[in-house]
Amino acid sequence: MPLKKSISGFRGTIGGKAGDNLTPEDIVTNVAGYGAWLLKSGAAPRVVIGRDGRPSGPVVTALTAATLQCLGIDVIDCDFATTPTVEMAVVFHQAGGGIILSASHNPKEYNALKLLNSKGEFISAIDGADLMAMAAEGDITYAQVDDLGTIIRDTTALDQHIKAVLEHPLVEVEAIRKAGFTTVLDAVNSVGAISIPPLCEALGVSCEVINGELNGQFAHNPEPQPQYLGELMEQVKKSGADLGIAVDPDVDRLALVGPGGRWIGEEYTLAAVADYVLSKDPGPVVSNLSSSRVVADVAASYGQEYQASAVGEVNVVEKMKAIGAVIGGEGNGGIIDPKLHYGRDSLIGLALVLSHMATSGKTINELRDGYPHYEMIKDKKEVDKTYDLDAAFDRVRAKFPDVKSNDIDGLKLDFPDGWVHLRASNTEPIVRVYAEAGTAARAQELADGIKVVL
């Protein structure tokens, strides 16, 4: 995969030629740009880093840490850590920023540098452009020998993260403990294996783990979608568990499976959490344009404002702050609870789902049945560097001139019985084609009708 630079950071496949992939030269160049930007901003010369389970993690960590040290920046290394754990550790340590070494849902040959500011939030597009310019210019001054940064090992970041979840005002710890829930976790051979089980233990929840060896050799496609989670669904059914839990390699996305092996899905994770939060603390709700309509329906059922943002965690967070949202996130299973921190977090997502189940006395299947039913398909069109996306969007508009459209992020078409959202991926050379309708067949029909025009 060509090296991809965006608000998501720097991402690519390991190996190949410099400038084309995520090679050692590219890692050093871009980390140096980030470090120089951080120092220029006046932030504390201290950066938190952490990695998921990928085989390239140790090498990427070493290159990242050494580059920061050479700039005179101290490094706090959390080693294996979830994305939300690193985000929170930035605040715990009052660091100037953080770098998460994870390519999220991408296969094991990928890795990425995901960049955080001093609030433990993804840097803005403006800041990202600034640091990329600094990296490209290469006009960076490194520290003298007596001013090199140090490395500090942090072995407590996850414990602090879990403690904060347990102290969250809407997490009903005692009710969850009394409920005696049983769960099955598919840890997809990454850091979910060392983060979700201790949270469950603290909540008195039994947690059986599959694909729990932390080696980054993902047992299946690591994206938490039903076509890849057959083993989890079967084990939930076989064991009679109350809940199946699926996370991606860096544990910022949460998908659910109900009793009997029923797929609840990542889109309904945010709906269930929003339902619970709004029942306790009414207020505005935000999700992105590619998220299910069910989130807006839940907000409306409480008489609360709903707004959609552009896709991308930083965009959701910006919109949440602007309208004072009490809960938000992305339909890919990313829960953002501002009472904890402004970042997608499967640990708080799981704790709030369990609180909802414990206090309502309902199974996750019963909760799911209480929400409007939609089916979403997540399709894509592979493209190359010559592909003209603007021209493609013009063709789509011309084909459907009477359909309401929205172009704040790609192109979204709202049909009477569903919608289709088209946008270039921030992480892969594809155009994402998401569609939703009352049935999967109709959603696929809508998507196919658009794809032939792209």
**Residue numbers annotated as active site:** 104
| Structural contact between residues 208 and 184, judged by C-beta atoms closer than 8 angstroms | yes
Separation CA 250–CA 9 (nearest Å): 15
Separation CA 449–CA 454 (nearest Å): 9
Query: Which element (helix H / strand E) includes 230?
Result: helix 230-239
Beta strands in 110-264 (DSSP E): 110-116, 151-153, 182-186, 206-210, 243-247, 254-258, 262-263
| Structural contact between residues 349 and 333, judged by C-beta atoms closer than 8 angstroms | yes
**366: Cβ contacts below 8 Å, ≥ 6 apart:** none
Is 380 exposed, middle or buried, given 0-12, 13-18 or 19+ CB atoms closer than 10 A?
Answer: middle
Q: Collect contacts of 312-316 with beta carbons under 8 A, ≥24 apart.
A: 312/7, 312/8, 312/288, 312/426, 313/122, 313/343, 313/344, 314/7, 314/121, 314/122, 314/123, 314/124, 314/125, 315/288, 315/409, 316/286, 316/287, 316/288
What single DSSP character describes residue 124?
P
Only one residue has tokens 């979608």, namely: 225
Separation CA 328–CA 298 (nearest Å): 12
